[in-house]
Every structure is written in C-alpha cells, then in structure tokens.
C-alpha cells in the first residue's frame, strides 16, 4: 500500500487538493499499477513562517510581484 506525502504551503483550495489527489493516484497507477484503493495521499500544509529555504524563513522572503 503506497503512501504519497505532499508537503506544501497552506492555502490551497479543497478543489485543488482533490484534483492533485486524483492526478497523483492516476499517475502512480499508470507507472506502477495496482488498485486505486491501495493508494493513500497525505497532505501536510505548512505555514510560510514554518518553512525555511537557504537559512531564511519563506515568510521573510520577498514574494515575486504578480503580473498585471
């Protein structure tokens, strides 16, 4: 029974997580095979102030500006 763990920033919608779970399961089954009921996916949502990259909290990093 495979377990796929996804660590990501908090804030994704339930629909995004549903779609990601569906696609991860489909991809796993396409590559490895087996029953869909055997694939478990765990989402671990982490706040940006609980995640660091290169010694710096992500919450402290300047976010890229959105395109207008």
DSSP per-residue string spanning 15-68:
HHHHHHHHHHHHHHHHHH---GGG-EEEEEEE-GGG-EETTEEGGGSPPPPPP-
Among 2, 9, 16, 38, which one carries the catalytic annotation?
Answer: 2
Query: What was the pLDDT predicted at 1?
Result: 86
Distance CA 54, CA 45 (A): 20
Q: Is the pLDDT of residue 68 over 70?
A: no
Q: Domains in the chain and their CATH numbers?
A: 3-60 (3.30.429.10)
pLDDT digits (tens, 9 = 90+) for 26-67: 999 999 999 999 999 999 999 999 999 999 999 999 766 555
Query: What was the pLDDT predicted at 11?
Result: 95
Cα distances (angstroms) measured from residue 51 to each of 5, 11, 64: 16, 14, 17
2 a catalytic residue: yes
Distance CA 44, CA 10 (A): 8
pTM for this model (two decimals)? 0.81
């Amino acid at each position: 029974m495979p377990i796929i763990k996804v660590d990501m920033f908090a804030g994704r919608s339930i629909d995004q997580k549903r779609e990601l779970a569906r696609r991860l399961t489909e991809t796993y089954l396409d590559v490895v095979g087996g029953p869909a009921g055997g694939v478990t996916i765990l989402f671990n949502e982490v706040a940006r102030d609980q995640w660091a990259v290169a010694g710096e909290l992500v919450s402290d990093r300047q976010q890229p500006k959105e395109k207008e």
